[in-house]
Homo-oligomer: A and B are copies of this chain.
Amino acid sequence: MTMKERIRELLNEKKYNTLFEYLTEQNVVDIALVFNELSDEEIIRAFRLLPKETASEAFSYMDSRVQEHLIRVMSDRELELVAKDLFMDDTVDLLGEMPASLVKRILKAAKPEDRKIINELLQYPEESAGSVMTTEFVDLISSMSVLDAIKKIKQDGISKETVYTCYVLDHARHLIGLVSVKDLLLSSYDTVIDDIMETNIIKAETLEDKESVANRISKYDLLALPVVDKENRLVGIITIDDAVDVYTRAADEDFEKMNALSPSEDTYFKTGVFKHASKRIVWLFVLMLSAMITEAIIKNYETALSAIPLLASFLPMLMDTGGDSGSQSATLIIRGMATDEIHLKDFFKVFWKEFRVAFLCSSIIAAANAVRILVQYGDPLVALSVSLTLIGTVVFAKLLGGMLPMFAKLVKVDPAVMAAPLISTIVDSFSVFIYFNFAMLILKI
């Protein structure tokens, strides 16, 4: 029996004590996933049976639809209990998903001291490090002993998202060092924090881009990264689980955009048919409009096509090879920029590399095709036209695929969004245009 079936059964049979026991033994993430599949009425009954310690945590993993439904039916007292145990970053995420009327209720349910912090967190721009950080961390003073520090963790730790990295602050809350619990445990109790703290700190500023901050956490294999304001005062931390979400979401979005999809937050099954269609149709229209340019160019060469209809046969290969060559380059450059390997200053390095790769690839493909067309159709002039077009198209496509994402970043447009429609449009048009011109010149049409 699956967990969902078991919960349903116990709810139906009103065996609430057994259900409570059963829920106590389950993982909170699994509980949340089952809640997402229960009916509205079951959700409410089952939620009231969750053990107090895990209710808030399970709540934070549920779908926003389920969360909204639960908040609507909760009493103010119940909402206060849930809000009290939510971590700040989860509360901020929740507020971002809820309608305005519920936002008010949730803020009212939060402790007054939290409310101030939540409001501050809500001010950070959507793409900033500040928007994904949490404000629950353990802070120490450099004059403390290891024993003092461990006592402080015992006292404060329960409500902190992580205790494994502790932050050493001076009297004005400037970040001056950090110490891991591993170091605390491996040092003797009377060691002074000042002697063991790490002062060479990898950190982020509140307004930095969250993706580059997530990259930093992954690059240095950190469990958490401190976020400071302009005066180096510690205002929050970003934990690795949130960084992983940012990182994978960003990669998925890049590739959705490159494969002609408008990204959405929801998973495949949770997105409805109309939503799916709207995510996809925008790009299909954009790409279709762009194909009209190619269409107009071909229309222009109707005489050439009437004279040698065979020319039309090679259009798919020329356009496919061009489009693929361009998207190969764009993929590598967009990923390279996302993972902080490629920077704008590398423009000419990328240009030169793509040029050589393109020249190599296109020469081989063009030679292979020349031979193939000669054998298949016995027409050396057509073979020459197609081969020359291939070289021109592949070199052009690779340079464009390499440069366009960098140009997009320069003018602060999303490289992945810009790359997808523009590369195929420009490469298709270019390819068809030089093809017919080579053909007319060489075949003397």
Contacts and interface: CB of A to CB of B under 8 A. Distances in A.
Interface in A289-312: 290-292, 294-296, 298-299, 302, 305-306, 309-310, 312
| Residue of A251, A260, A316, A335 ringed by the most chain B CB atoms within 10 A | A316
B341 A317 contact: no
Contacts of A346: 269
A240 interface: yes
A357 B247 contact: no
A202 interface: yes
Contacts of A341: 267-269
B280 A428 contact: no
Nearest to A188: B154
Contact of A317 (B158, B258, B288): B288
Interface in A14-63: 25-27, 29
A202 B287 CA distance: 45
A365 B247 CA distance: 34
Given A185-B154, A186-B158, A305 B312 contact: yes
Contacts of A369: 288
A368 B286 CA distance: 13
A258 B298 CA distance: 29
Interface stretch (A103-111, A121-129, A167-175, A271-279): A271-279
A181 B165 CA distance: 12
A223 B241 CA distance: 9
A270 to B, nearest CB: 9
B315 A312 contact: yes
Interface residues of A, number: 100
A349 interface: yes
A185 B200 contact: no
A281 interface: yes
Interface in A312-332: 312-317, 319-321, 324-325, 327-328, 330-332
Each complex incorporates copies of this chain amounting to 2
A273 B277 CA distance: 40
A283 B394 CA distance: 13
A244 interface: yes
A371 interface: no
A327 B365 contact: no
A256 B153 CA distance: 45
Contacts of A26: 200
B305 A317 contact: no
Interface stretch (A5-13, A213-221, A228-236): A213-221
A418 interface: no
B361 A281 contact: yes
A312 to B, nearest CB: 4
A333 interface: yes
Contacts of A102: none
A357 B25 CA distance: 41
Contacts of A154: 185-186
A336 interface: yes
23 contacts: A27-B200, A29-B221, A150-B185, A153-B186, A181-B181, A223-B240, A244-B247, A251-B255, A258-B259, A259-B328, A269-B349, A273-B360, A281-B360, A288-B320, A291-B321, A294-B316, A298-B313, A298-B316, A302-B310, A305-B312, A306-B309, A316-B319, A319-B320
Interface of A: 25-27, 29, 150, 153-154, 157-158, 163-164, 181-182, 185-186, 200, 202, 218-221, 223, 240-241, 244, 247-248, 251-252, 254-256, 258-261, 267-269, 273-274, 276-277, 280-281, 283-285, 287-288, 290-292, 294-296, 298-299, 302, 305-306, 309-310, 312-317, 319-321, 324-325, 327-328, 330-333, 335-336, 339, 341-342, 346, 349, 353, 356-357, 360-361, 364-365, 368-369, 394, 424, 428, 432
Given A268-B336, A295-B316, 14 more contacts: A153-B185, A218-B248, A255-B258, A259-B327, A267-B339, A267-B341, A269-B353, A273-B356, A276-B353, A298-B312, A299-B313, A312-B312, A315-B316, A320-B424
